[in-house]
């Protein structure tokens, strides 16, 4: 099995799970590749990294890889997805961060979880992805124009609100007068959208949600739509530009640019261990339905 490993940080919260993972993989019959910058961080911080010199490094992935292991938090998984793109490589996250809603493997279960995955004892959860195009074309997002969690537009160099003119399948919906607008996938419904009052959507639901950010209209509420909908946005405001974020990546866009957002032609394959599920994660991570009166 050809396995890629990606991480963004090597600090006091991640050093133990990183060492556990790498030492455990040394004893496995697997071809291990560590992302080059992450390997450099390990080399700079770890006193004795000589055993890990048996591992190779990578800059880009291709279809020969069987698995990508992300070690960090949910932000690290979102960054790791940019390596996978449309290759269909399954990804699993080891939680060395805080909440870990996407990075579901806790550090105390790394060895057991890796053994189960290597034996094929897991499920695949297909996660939809958003893609964006702009008119005129914007170079900052044209090459990596997709997001697993959400695409959001927001004000940039102003305290004034922006107007987000919104069309669904070329039919006018409304103009959101707000700090911005989030278009989230079911995966992203538990992130930024949830913080702005959006609903939780299960990953197998063929839906997207539009969630305004701090709207000035009392009747502006999150809207759930089918994921086959094409969304067009045109933003205007007092400043000349605004921000578009794709998960953890940000670009500056000029006012009056036409944004077209739709479901991408590929999915991301998230690994779930046999005893894990989205609903179990809701209860465990978001304390879903917890009531001290019960």
Residues designated catalytic: 74
> Tokens 């961080």 — which residue?
41
29 by DSSP, 3-state: which? coil
- How far apart (Å, rounded) are the C-alpha atoms in residues 198 and 224? 9
- Alpha carbons 205 and 280: distance in angstroms, whole number: 17
DSSP letter, residue 54:
G
Q: List 99's β-bridge partners, or say none.
A: none
Q: In this structure, are strands 2-6 and 31-35 parallel, antiparallel, or unpaired?
A: parallel
Q: Rounded to whole angstroms, how far apart are CA atoms 68 and 92? A: 7
Query: 289: burial class by Cβ within 10 Å (0-12, 13-18, 19+)?
Result: exposed
| φ and ψ of 83, to 5 deg | -80, -35
């Amino acid at each position: 099995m050809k396995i890629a490993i990606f991480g963004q940080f090597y600090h006091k919260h991640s050093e133990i799970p990183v060492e556990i993972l790498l030492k455990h993989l040394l004893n496995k019959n697997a071809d291990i590749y560590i992302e080059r910058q992450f390997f450099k961080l390990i080399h700079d911080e770890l006193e004795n990294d000589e055993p890990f010199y048996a591992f190779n490094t990578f800059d880009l992935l291709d279809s020969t890889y069987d698995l990508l292991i992300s070690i960090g938090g949910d932000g690290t998984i979102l960054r790791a997805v940019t390596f996978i793109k449309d290759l269909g490589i399954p990804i699993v996250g080891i939680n060395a961060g805080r909440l870990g809603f996407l990075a579901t493997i806790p550090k105390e279960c790394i060895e057991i979880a890796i053994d189960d995955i290597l034996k094929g004892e897991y499920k695949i959860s297909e996660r939809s992805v958003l893609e964006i195009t702009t008119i005129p074309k914007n170079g900052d997002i044209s090459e990596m124009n997709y997001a697993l969690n959400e695409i959001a537009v927001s004000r940039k160099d102003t305290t004034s609100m922006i107007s987000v003119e919104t069309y669904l399948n070329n039919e006018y919906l409304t103009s959101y007068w707000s700090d911005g607008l989030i278009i989230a996938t079911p995966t992203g419904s538990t992130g930024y959208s949830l913080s702005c009052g959006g609903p939780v959507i299960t990953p197998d639901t063929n839906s997207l949600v539009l969630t305004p950010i701090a709207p000035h209209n009392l009747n502006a509420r999150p809207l759930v739509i089918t994921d086959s909908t094409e969304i067009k946005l045109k933003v205007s405001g007092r400043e000349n530009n605004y921000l578009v974020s794709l998960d953890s990546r940000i670009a500056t866009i000029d006012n009056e640019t036409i944004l077209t957002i739709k479901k991408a032609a590929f999915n991301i394959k998230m690994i779930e261990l046999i005893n894990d599920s989205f609903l179990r994660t809701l209860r465990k991570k978001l304390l879903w339905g917890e009531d001290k009166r019960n």
